[in-house]
């Protein structure tokens, strides 16, 4: 058993990718908790699809792809807000328009340049965790420290703001700043996760572990901590599955995360489908 766990670690690329996978599991669960409680899952999806043209342009211009992706994500949220605030189109429709447009632009750009540059569209879409470099690891660690520090330092303000925006505004909290800050955290987290799972599946890492935890505990920080636990378990098991069964790492991680969610959904002590059914039966027999 131990041998199974240790064997892949003799390869440096496996060490690197495991580190990335674990970090991504942590920050996605924390930031994803904010997405979940604000019902912004769709926004997470929108931003992650929107970073694609940024990746492509950064690649063409040979600048850091983290920066390219982040800028594209920022521009897309800006576009969504412009449409929403200046017309009667609702937020979800605005997201739909913007993110599909950005996604289409990204795919077009990558297809045009991929032949001569020997890059693979699939790596952008589904991640290429086995191809991470040491500098990728460094960038990811810096982003993670920044994200976690912000959440830790502004926890009480963000809790108030995400629970009751009007209440927070009425006491004079800078709600626009908090909102922008959250968007930046979401953007950074998505960008940091691209190598591991790619633009299409990152939503799963953001939302699924947080939801799994939400069915089990009742306070935001508990959701985050338990979510981190589930996220990290998913990342590690996904990586090993990918190593031994030659599966793409992103989908493997996502499938493990989903499995954990299904368990929580069925067996959560308070909200589980099967636990609820068993309780009902038990009470019927007793009375």
Partner 1 sequence: MGNLNSLAVENLSVSYRQVEALRNVSFQVLPHRVTGIIGPNGAGKSTMMKAMLGLIPYQFGSILLDNQPLIKQKSRIAYVPQRSQIDWTYPATVWDVVMMGRVKKTGWLLPFSKMSRLTVKKALEKVQMSDFCHRPIGELSGGQQQRVFLARSLAQSADIFFFDEPFAGVDQKTETIIFNIFRELAQEGKIVLVVNHDLGESINNFDNLILVNKNLIASGTKEEVLQEENLYNAYSGKVSFFSQNQKLIA
Footprint of partner 1 (CB under 8 A): 37, 39, 153-154, 156-157, 159-160, 162-164, 166-173, 214, 217-220, 222-223
Toward partner 1, which CB reaches closer, 87 or 108? 87
Q: How far is the CB of 85 from partner 1 (least distance, A)?
A: 11
Toward partner 1, which CB reaches closer, 52 or 168? 168
Tell me how far, at minimum, the Cβ of 155 lies from partner 1, in Å: 10
Which two tokens mark 123? 């790596």
Nearest to 234 by CA among 26, 2, 11, 12: 26
> Helix-strand-coil percent breakdown of the chain, rounded to 5?
85, 0, 15
The number of angstroms, rounded, from the C-alpha of 150 to the middle of its chain's C-alpha atoms is: 17
H/E stretch holding 173 reads none
Q: How far is the CB of 172 from partner 1 (least distance, A)?
A: 4
Nearer to partner 1, 8 or 181 (CB): 181
Rounded to the nearest whole angstrom, what is the least distance from the CB of residue 159 to partner 1 in the complex? 7
Q: How far is the CB of 213 from partner 1 (least distance, A)?
A: 9
Closer residue to partner 1, CB minimum distance, 99 or 230: 230
Kindly give, in sequence order, each residue whose CB lies less than 8 Å from that of residue 232, ignoring residues fewer than 6 positions away.
Answer: 22, 25, 26
| Max Cα–Cα distance, the chain, nearest Å | 74
Tokens of 45: 């999806």
* Closer CB to partner 1, 52 or 224, in the complex: 224
């Amino acid at each position: 058993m131990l041998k199974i766990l240790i064997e892949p670690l003799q390869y440096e690329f496996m060490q690197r990718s495991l580190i990335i996978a674990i970090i991504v599991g942590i920050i996605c669960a924390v930031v994803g908790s904010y997405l979940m409680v604000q019902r912004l899952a769709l926004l997470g999806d929108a931003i992650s699809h929107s970073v694609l043209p940024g990746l492509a342009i950064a690649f063409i211009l040979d600048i850091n792809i983290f920066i390219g992706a982040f800028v594209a994500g920022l521009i897309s949220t800006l576009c969504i807000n412009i449409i929403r605030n200046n017309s009667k189109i609702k937020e979800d429709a605005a997201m739909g328009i913007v993110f599909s447009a950005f996604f289409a632009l990204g795919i077009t750009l990558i297809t045009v340049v991929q032949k001569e540059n020997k890059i693979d569209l699939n790596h952008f879409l589904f991640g290429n965790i086995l191809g991470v470099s040491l500098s990728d690891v460094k960038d990811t660690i810096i982003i993670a420290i920044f994200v976690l520090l912000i959440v830790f330092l502004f926890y009480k303000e963000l809790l108030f703001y995400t629970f009751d925006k009007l209440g927070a505004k009425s006491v004079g909290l800078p709600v626009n700043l908090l909102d922008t800050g959250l968007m930046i955290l979401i953007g950074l987290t998505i960008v940091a996760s691209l190598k591991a799972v790619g633009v299409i599946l990152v939503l799963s890492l953001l939302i699924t572990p947080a939801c799994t935890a939400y069915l089990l505990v009742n306070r935001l920080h508990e959701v985050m901590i338990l979510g981190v636990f589930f996220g990290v378990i998913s990342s590690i098991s996904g990586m090993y599955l990918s190593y031994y069964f030659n599966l793409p790492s992103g989908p493997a991680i996502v499938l493990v995360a989903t499995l954990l969610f299904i368990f929580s959904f069925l067996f959560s002590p308070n909200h589980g489908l099967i636990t609820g059914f068993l309780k009902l039966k038990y009470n019927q027999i007793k009375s």
